[in-house]
Amino acid sequence: MPNRNTAPSIVPLSAPKLLTPEHFTLDNGTEAIYLHDPNQEVFKIDVIFEAGIYYQPSPLIAATTINMLGEGTLHHNAEEIAGIFDYYGAYIDFCCGLNKSEVSLLSLNKYAEPTVRMLAELLTESTIPEKELKIFLTNKRQEFLVNQEKTSYLARKKFAAVLFGANHPYANQIREQDYTATTLQQIRSFYQKYIHTRKCRLVLCGNINDSLLKLVNNAFSYTLAPAPEEDFHTPIFQPEKAGHYPVYKAPAVQTSIRIGKTGVSLTDPDYAGFMLLNTILGGYFGSRLMSNIRENKGYTYGIQSFNVCMPQSSYWCITTEVNKEYTQATLQEVEKEIRRLQTEPVPSEELQLVKNFLHGDILREIDGVFAQADALKHKLNYGLDNRFYTTMIEQIKACTPAELKQLAQKYWQPEEMYVITAGE
Amino acid sequence: MIHFNRTLLRNGLTVLCNTDRNTPFVSVNILYKVGSRNEQDTRTGFAHLFEHLMFGGSAHVEDYDRHVQLAGGDSNAYTTNDLTNYYITIPADNIETALWLESDRMAALNFSQHALDVQKQVVIEEFKQRYLNNPYGDVWLKLRPLAYQVHPYRWPTIGMSPEHIEKATLTDVKNFFHHYYAPNNAIISLSGNIETDKAFSLVEKWFGDIPAHHLPLPEIPGEPLQTRERRLVIPDNDVPADAIYKVYHMGGRTSENFYTCDIISDILSNGQSSRLYVNLLRNSRLFSAIDAYVSGDKDPGLFIFSGKLSEGTTIGQADQAIEEEIEKFIRDTISERELQKVIHKTESRISFSEINYQTKATNLAFFEFLNNPELINTEASHYLAVTPEKIKTTAIGTFRKENCSTLWYLKKKN
């Protein structure tokens, strides 16, 4: 009979086992970083361009351009391109971020040759056909209209607008008419300027054997275009005053709430401590917000808080969808939970629990070659690598209740908060 | 190839283990063979509500989550029409914490009126968030009872309506627990950094003394053969575009029919070179989104066509266009390359799923639930056995008017 009365003893968590990234410079000067795991039979290549929303001259341009890469090249039309990736069971993905744009290929090693060559062709020979562009924009417009019906989308949009200023690219304010105003010329010129034979970074992971590296070097052997002319005007943040911004949407049986402000950058010495503080408040299932507002009061299915870093800024926020009857009550409880962290030290038992959870969470975040490559890709933008996590774990372990209280006071002043409520 | 071992405890608990040294974690997955298909039609949504209550503590554990988190673990659960699945990923050294917690709540869950009251509210908010406060969110609340008249698949796991959830009592909770949460109605699978021998002996240590229950499992009524085409129109929805759903009855998850239908759905709509995407979205532009897929339920399920209409397309045109694609599919021969393409896609999907230890643990339990854990390694061969002839006969047998339910989900007229 097992002894159920006492919990099994807990072994302290280990330090992360980091794979060492290898560096490889292609003949054309492109920088490639890879994490090799010989046990895999698949690989992933991310091609990363400095071509995100931050650089677009008007709304939708960056995301449309990156998504149009698969829609036609000098040698293949859209159906043929999709046919090649589909035939070899590969996945091609286009992703537009705030600063970076990415094209990712996930493929079996045995089909590396045709899929890697097709990937390279997208980057150097895209034609951006007019018909496909029209279809893309029409269908995206419809997705946009669906999103406009969601209170959560409206809250997120308003939050970004007041925090960064509606005209800053980070706010990414899209209007319905942008879908009809976007022209072929704009997309083609963005492609030429930011993607076509432009400098990029390759991050590879999985089974990155010599023959794959050779293939990549060969497929990406085009001459890099010289850096584009510098006519880029750095956008300026023009935040609105902090305060409450309601967004009216009816009918709505729930209210979407977003509360937040500028966050803490990855490179800030406060980062590890702030992440710990955020986890206590709303960063895990047992957080104070979840315990109070979901598990104790039943106002919501979920409430969470998180911090997002971007190269030129960062933000922190709390999000939830609540029963519309409890909108005010939820706001008051959130305020109360923040004030508690500013005035009372976190009890040592709770602190130890959150430290362990966060440690485990970090280990999960970098578990395996694919996860480590994803984590590394993000860290490279800040001149860091995954050793960042080892340091962060040490800093989290050392963090004291007094420090957490100070951080809560420093970062969570009520008069600096933006509060968005979207619903009836 | 995934190597695994299987054993059965004396109390009827099935145990499976796969060792994966690529991770410092172990995923502990417990599947209870109960889902919304086991509910009464007067108390739907109960299996899912019960899943929430499983986190409310047990005889020796005041706070389940606290111990998971202290051990550096993470846990969650989900309910489907067929099953309820709980999982913890935990550093391998702390495996016993997971087994202690899971065995304690299997042996003696706490029943509390307060927890029930709060979780009822939480689930009702979940109902609103996913089904009511979300464009097109209520489609399946309407479509299921159209396609099924008798079988409990006629309601979704969240339940038919929030009123059913409000009605749940503590007595219902206790009865449900004693009916279904027994070792002989459960499967535990582990994958990660642990040896099989150790896994088996630890599972025996923590679960071995939990008594089996007598399981008077009520018979689930089979869905009678549909003999007439069904149609339903829902007007005046707060959505920007009309949508159409056409669903056909098909075989259950372990039938040969399932594999053939899955291949058919891939030919029709997996990837941007698939037929529906090319013909209806790229070329005729009648749709802004189009999809064909299979439900994959244990009992006979559904083959689903769903599409969102482009501006200017009438719902009648859309309906006809899908029917024409089906006719073409039946009439024209499938090219060797087209079939090869979907088989490659299936093979690669299976390869990618073998990377992650959590997926392996979940799949092992799921295939054991289907009474054939070997499927984790043999599924690909079932797909490979699908021939163009089988595809044709299956399509003819499935895509019949009298086997079809059609839902027109229309936007509000200006």
For position B284, what pLDDT does the model report? Answer: 95
Name the phi and psi angles at B220, rounded to 5: -95, 125
Confidence of residue B217 (pLDDT cuts 50, 70, 90): confident
Pairs of CB atoms within 8 A across A/B: 204
CB of A8 within 8 Å of a chain B CB? The answer is: yes
Taking a contact as any Cβ pair under 8 Å apart, which residues of chain A between 373 and 402 contact chain B? none
Of residues B69, B209, B356, nearest to A356 (C-beta): B69
Neighbours of B78 (CB within 10 A): 14
Give the side-chain half-sphere CA count within 13 A for B386. Answer: 32
- Among A219-223, A290-294, B153-157, B196-200, where is mean pLDDT lowest? A219-223
Predicted confidence (pLDDT) at residue A1 exceeds the cutoff of 80: no
pLDDT higher than 80, residue B10: yes
Q: In this structure, are residues A308 and A314 in contact, taking their beta carbons and an 8 Å threshold?
A: yes
Average pLDDT of every residue of chain B: 95
In which band, very low, low, confident or very high, does the pLDDT at B389 lie, cut at 50, 70 and 90? very high
Would you state the pLDDT for residue B218?
A: 80
Q: What is the average pLDDT across B165-177?
A: 93
A5 → closest Cβ in B22, B60, B70: B60
Closest CA–CA distance from residue A57 to any residue of chain B (Å): 27
pLDDT of residue B117: 93
pLDDT number for residue A281: 98
Which candidate from B24, B135, B273 shows the least CB-CB separation from A149? B135
pLDDT-based confidence at residue A228 (cuts at 50, 70, 90):
confident
* Pick from B245, B244, B251, B246: nearest CA to B225: B251
**What is the per-residue pLDDT across B82-127, written as a single tens digit (0 to 9) for each?**
999 999 999 999 999 999 999 999 999 999 999 999 999 999 999 9
ipTM, 2 dp: 0.89
The pLDDT assigned to B353 comes to 85
At A226, the pLDDT band (50, 70, 90 cuts) reads confident
- pLDDT (tens digit per residue) in B220-238: 999 999 999 999 999 999 9
pLDDT category, B413, cuts 50, 70, 90? Answer: confident
Integer Cα distance of B220 and B223 in angstroms? 9
The whole-number pLDDT of residue A223 equals 84
Report DSSP state, residue B35: -
Q: Residue A35: what pLDDT?
A: 96
Question: How much is the average pLDDT of B382-390?
Answer: 93
Query: What band does B36 get if pLDDT is binned at 50, 70 and 90?
Result: very high
Among B273, B339, B346, most A C-beta atoms within 10 A, so best to mutate, is: B273
Closest Cβ–Cβ partner in A5, A14, A254 for B128: A254
Pairing of strands B243-249, B404-411: antiparallel
Residue B389's identity, in one-letter code, is: E
Strand A101-108 to A91-96 pairing = antiparallel
pLDDT at A320: 97
**Domains of chain A: residue spans and CATH:** 22-220 (3.30.830.10), 243-423 (3.30.830.10)
> What pLDDT is stored for residue B83 in this prediction?
98
Q: Are B23 and B196 in contact (CB under 8 A)?
A: no
Which pLDDT band holds residue B80 (cuts at 50, 70, 90)? very high
Interchain CB distance below 8 Å, B133 and A253 = yes
B241 in contact with chain A, both atoms CB, cutoff 8 A? yes
Q: What percent of chain A has pLDDT over 70?
A: 100
Q: Please, are residues A258 and A316 in contact by the beta-carbon 8 Å criterion?
A: no
pLDDT for A361-417, tens place per residue? 999 999 999 999 999 999 999 999 999 999 999 999 999 999 999 999 999 999 999
- Say yes or no for a CB contact (<8 Å) between A7 and B356: no
- Chain A partners of B271 at a C-beta cutoff of 8 Å? 82, 85-86
Q: What is the pLDDT of residues B44-57, one digit of tens each?
A: 999 999 999 999 99
List domains and CATH numbers for chain B: 5-207 (3.30.830.10), 230-411 (3.30.830.10)
Mean pLDDT of B323-338: 93
CA B320 vs. chain centroid, Å, equals 30
pLDDT at A229 > cutoff 80: no
Secondary structure (3-state) at B327: helix
